[in-house]
Structure 1
Amino acid sequence: MAKLKITIVQSHIYWDSPVKNISQFEAKLSDAHPTDLIILPELFNTAFSVTNEGESMSGETIQWMLSLAAKNKAVILGSLIIKENGKKYNRLICMNPDGSHQHYDKRHLFDLMNESSYFTPGKNRLIINIKGWKICPLICYDLRFPVFSRNNEDYDILVYVANWPASRIDHWDKLLVARAIENQCFVAAVNRVGCDINGVEFSGHSSLIDYNGNIIFKGDDSEHLKTFTINKVELESSRLKFPFLKDVDSFAIN
C-alpha cells in the first residue's frame, strides 16, 4: 500500500493508575477515524512510575491492547512496564489486529529518573511491517543517540513514544527534525502532556515530520487525537533523487 494512516494520541497520564488510564484512552479512541496505526505515549498506563511492579505479557494492559487492535483493525504502539523472569523492562508493544505482537525494550535508560535502577536495557532494534511500510519504533531518551537509530535502508518511518519534559522540549523539537533528515524517513513522535506527582511538566509537541524535515504537524500542550495520511510514493521519489543513505557510515553497537 502506498499510503498509511497514522493516529497520534497526545494525553495526560494518571500516575500509577492502569485502570484509569486504560479507561481514558478507550474513551479518546472511541471516535477515532479509521486508521492503520495508533501511537500511544511512553508508559501510557502508569506514567513514569518506575517503582511500579509492572505486568506480565498476559496482563490486563496487554489484553486491552489486543482488544483495541482487533476492534479498530489497526496496529497499536505504546510502552508499559513489563516484568519478565524477575526483571523489569520499559517495553514498547506492537499489537497487531490478529492478536500477534512484537516488542522493543528501551535501550537507553534515563538515569536522571533512575531508570537503570529499576529496568533492564534492551539490546536490539525492532523493525515492523505495516502495509508494506517498514517502521522502527523507539522510546524517548533513545532520541538523543543517532547511531542507534541509523537508517541502514531498512525502514521508512521512525516512531518515538515519550514522556519528554517541558524543560527540554526545544531539544525534542530539534532532534526529531534531525532524525527525519539524516535518516531520510518520516518521523512520528508522541509525547504526553500535563504534570506528574513530582511536579514535572510535559508540554506535548507530538509531531509528524517528513523525510526532508518539513513539519507536517506539531501539537501544542493540550490533549488531542489526530489522524494523518502519508504517501510512500513521495518518500521513494525523494530517496531516488537524493540517494545519500547508500553512503552512510556503518557502526557496530555493543
Structure 2
Amino acid sequence: MTADTDFKVAAIQTVSSTNVHDNLEQAAVLIGQAVSQGAKLVLLPEYFCLMGRKDEDKLAIMEEPGGGLIQDFLAVQAQRHGIWLTGGTLPLKSPDSNRIYNSCLVYSPDGQRVARYDKIHLFGFRKGEESYDESVAIRPGENGPQCFEAPCGTVGLSICYDLRFPEYYRALATPTLILVPAAFTYTTGSAHWELLLRARAIENQCYVLAAAQGGKHENGRRTWGHSMLVDPWGDIVDVLPEGPGIVAGSVNEQRLEEVRTALPALRHRTM
C-alpha cells in the first residue's frame, strides 16, 4: 500500500459513563465531528463503551468475537463515514468465566474488522487510598504486538499501560503511526503521560496518536485526559486537556522522512 503523504487522523476524548448506550451516542457524535474535519483514521479511547462502577461490570457487557452491540456499532460507523476506526477497547469473551479480554479492534472503511489486539500489560497501582488492579476482571492477551496497514503506512496498536514498556514498541514493525487508547488515572497521568508519549514517538521516530478518558466519572474515578498527537521529533501537534472532544492533525510522510534521515537512529540500532 502506497503511503498517503498527508493523512488526517483524529483522537476522540470522552468521559465515559456507566451507560453503554449513552457512551455509544457520544462516540457517534464525536466521530462525526472528526470526519467533518477531514479525519480518515479515528481513534476512540480505552473503555469508551463503559466506565463501570466496579471492575466486574465489564463482564455484563462482554461480547463474543465477531458480533454484538459494540462491535456492530464500530463496523457501522467505519462504513458509514468511510474511515479507519479503532475502537479503543471493549470487553471480549475469554476462556476465563470471570475475566474478559480488553480488546482493541480496528475496522476498515468498508466496515470489515482488520486487526485485533488484546491488552497484555495489566495496570496495577496502589498509593494511599487509591488502588487499581485490572487483573481482577481482565485476562492478559496471548497475542503479541499487532499492526495493520493503512493509507499512511504501518500502524501499531497498543493500549494504555503498554506505554510503560518500551520493548513492546520495539517489537512493532517500524510503524509510521502508533495508536494509544488509554484511561490514565489523574495521578499517574499528571506525572508521566506526556513524557511517555513523547518518548515513544522520539525513540521510534514515528507519530503517536493517543485517545484518553479525561474527566471525573460517575464511579468516582478521575482520568487525566490530554489526548494528543505527537510527531516523530517529539513535538506535540495537538492536545485536549480535559472533557469530551477531538484532537486532530496529519501524519505527514515528508516530516517522517526528514526526522529519520537527519537522525538515522533506527538504522544505528545494535540490539
**Equivalent position of 2:27 in the other structure:** 25
**Equivalent position of 1:79 in the other structure:** 89
Once the two structures are overlaid, the 10-residue window that deviates more, 57-66 or 82-91, is 82-91
CA RMSD in angstroms comes to 1.8
Identify the match of residue 36 of structure 1 among 17, 31, 40.
40
**Equivalent position of 1:201 in the other structure:** 222
Deviation at 1:176, TM superposition (A): 0.7
Unpaired segments ≥5 residues, structure 1: none
**Equivalent position of 1:68 in the other structure:** 77
Once the two structures are overlaid, the 10-residue window that deviates more, 83-92 or 94-103, is 83-92
**Equivalent position of 2:168 in the other structure:** 148
Mapped to 2, the partners of 1:152 and 1:141 lie a distance apart of: 16
> What amino acid maps onto 1:56 in structure 2?
E
Residues 1:109 and 2:118 are matched in the alignment: no
Q: What does 1:136-175 align with in structure 2 at a 5 Å threshold?
A: 136-150=156-170, 154-169=174-189, 170-175=191-196
Sequence identity (%):
29
Change (3 A) 1:74 1:238: same
Deviation at 1:121, TM superposition (A): 1.1
> What amino acid maps onto 1:120 in structure 2?
R
> What amino acid maps onto 1:14 in structure 2?
S
Residues 1:188 and 2:209 are matched in the alignment: yes
**Equivalent position of 1:11 in the other structure:** 14
**Equivalent position of 2:149 in the other structure:** 129
Residues 1:90 and 2:99 are matched in the alignment: no
Secondary structure, aligned partner of 1:180: helix
**Equivalent position of 1:236 in the other structure:** 257
Unpaired segments ≥5 residues, structure 2: 126-131
> What amino acid maps onto 2:21 in structure 1?
V
> What amino acid maps onto 2:255 in structure 1?
E
Residues 1:120 and 2:139 are matched in the alignment: yes
Secondary structure, aligned partner of 1:226: strand
Identify the match of residue 64 of structure 2 among 52, 56, 62.
56
Deviation at 1:99, TM superposition (A): 2.5
Residues 1:100 and 2:108 are matched in the alignment: no
**Equivalent position of 1:248 in the other structure:** 269
- TM-score relative to the length of structure 2: 0.86
> What amino acid maps onto 1:116 in structure 2?
S
Mapped to 2, the partners of 1:215 and 1:30 lie a distance apart of: 24
Secondary structure, aligned partner of 1:64: helix
Identify the match of residue 227 of structure 1 among 244, 248, 252.
248
Change (3 A) 1:220 1:121: same
Question: 1:178-228: per-residue Cα shift (whole Å, max 9, x none)?
Answer: 111111111111111122344221131111111111111121112212331
Do 1:152 and 1:245's aligned partners in 2 also have CA atoms closer than 8 Å? no
> What amino acid maps onto 1:156 in structure 2?
T
> What amino acid maps onto 1:10 in structure 2?
Q
Deviation at 1:249, TM superposition (A): 4.8
**Equivalent position of 2:239 in the other structure:** 218
Do 1:8 and 1:227's aligned partners in 2 also have CA atoms closer than 8 Å? yes
